[in-house]
Chain A
Amino acid sequence: MIDKKWIGHELPASVLPIERSRLQYFAKAIGETDPIYTDAAAARGAGYPDLPAPPTFLFAAELDSGAAFRLIEDLQIPIAKLLHGEQSFTYVRPACVGDTVTVNSRVSDIYDKKNGALEFVVKTSRAINQRQELVAELRTVLVCRH
């Protein structure tokens, strides 16, 4: 069983600089061909200061920093039993090339179903930019399947 003492645990801050080549690579990886995601001139034509991060990109912050894997280790969830159950984003303002986004997360809940056969970890996150403005809120549900 995952120890419920982790409810309320705050992860270390994850700092993600929004970089042009990374966004171009991400667009290629997901098959995105809309030029606003790869061409700065097209992005500016669409009203952005530079390439915007696509809707799901900010999930990378805690993967790059290692905070996401560190949490899984802390909770002692074997990677072979780990599933991503749910993911939510609430958007406030775009993150574009040149911005630096900082993600702060906490474990907001841990619970189980089916007499412990499935355990759930809920993580809630706030992503802010270098001006301390809220960019997005994220909610992640991880599932440990026994």
Chain B
Amino acid sequence: MNIPRFDSVQVGDELPSLQLAPVDRTTLALFAGASGDHNPIHIDTDVARRAGMPDVFAQGMLGMAWVGRLITHWVPQSRLRRFDVRFQGITHLGNAMRCSGRIVEKLEHQGESCVRIELQSTNQFGQTKIEGLALVALPEHH
């Protein structure tokens, strides 16, 4: 992996975005098992409807995992110091999320050269479902 250097990145730079396929039931079932989140509201339409939802919907942590993929495709995970998100809305079946990130600050943090990245996950209708921040330590020089 070609790791971005602290000196070569600028505030405003964008990470390569990550386009996901539309959310389907199979993805939700697989993630329920893999994540340990067996809440039936995400995998059983009857339960979701009884809860007043039109249908099953994505686990919040699935959306956060996708944003995590955006970060670890840009830098190795060992450089990730913080990862914070706020869940802004429900990700419904058929939503095709696009994860994006933009450098908003260059800073020293605990003796390391770091960048703060503003994160978003937005569906094909322009609705943002996740907003967040990551703190990533970058190497200084070539």
Q: CB within 8 Å of B: which residues of A?
A: 22, 25-26, 28-32, 34, 46-48, 52, 54-56, 59-60, 63-64, 69, 79-80, 83-91, 94
Residue pair B61, A55 in contact (C-beta under 8 Å) = no
Query: Does B39 count as interface, using CB distance less than 8 angstroms?
Result: yes
Residues A34 and B86 in contact in the complex (CB < 8 Å), given A26-B34, A29-B34, A79-B39: no
Residue pair B78, A47 in contact (C-beta under 8 Å) = yes
A47 to B60, alpha carbons, bound, how many Å?
A: 30
Partner of A84, one of B21, B61, B68, B80: B61
26 pairs of residues in contact across A and B, judged by CB atoms under 8 Å: A22-B34, A29-B27, A29-B34, A30-B31, A31-B69, A34-B72, A47-B78, A48-B78, A54-B65, A54-B72, A54-B77, A55-B65, A55-B68, A55-B71, A55-B77, A56-B83, A60-B36, A84-B87, A85-B87, A86-B84, A87-B87, A88-B82, A88-B83, A89-B84, A91-B81, A94-B77
Number of interface residues of B (CB under 8 A): 39
Binary per-residue interface labels of chain B (49-93) against chain A in the complex, 1 for a CB within 8 Å, 0 otherwise: 011100000001110111011011100111011111111000000
Residues A29 and B82 in contact in the complex (CB < 8 Å), given A54-B65, A55-B68: no
| Chain A residue nearest in CB terms to B90 | A83
Binary per-residue interface labels of chain B (80-115) against chain A in the complex, 1 for a CB within 8 Å, 0 otherwise: 111111110000000000000000000000000000
> Within 8 Å CB of A94, what residues of B?
77-78
Residue pair B34, A87 in contact (C-beta under 8 Å) = no
Residue pair A63, B37 in contact (C-beta under 8 Å) = yes
The 8 closest A-B CB pairs, nearest first, are: A63-B36, A80-B51, A29-B34, A84-B60, A55-B68, A88-B84, A29-B30, A30-B65
- Report the minimum CB–CB distance from A86 to chain B (whole Å): 5
> Within 8 Å CB of B68, what residues of A?
30, 54-56
